[in-house]
Amino acid sequence: MNIFYTILLFLQKHGYHVCQRIADRFGIRAKVVRTSFMYITFVTIGFGFALYMFLAFWMRIKDLVYTKRSSVFDL
């Protein structure tokens, strides 16, 4: 049972960041994005989860490749 809670805590800590970034990008609440992913997953039997994992992977790669450059005024 303890392993279940550690996995759940890990997913809650790191997994919701994808939904938050998508929501910030479109200007909507993250709760709406999370609910949409759940509905898509139930309706399409796993396609929503696969899409979620692809977006998480893509955002991680994008963050590693593109670094925020410091401004001239930050000196």
pLDDT tens digit sequence for 13-42: 776 678 888 889 899 998 888 888 888 877
Mean pLDDT for the chain?
A: 80
Model-level pTM? Answer: 0.54
CA–CA gap between residue 4 and residue 2 (Å, rounded)? 5
Mean of pLDDT values over 47-66: 82
In the chain, alpha helices (H): 2-26, 30-44, 47-65
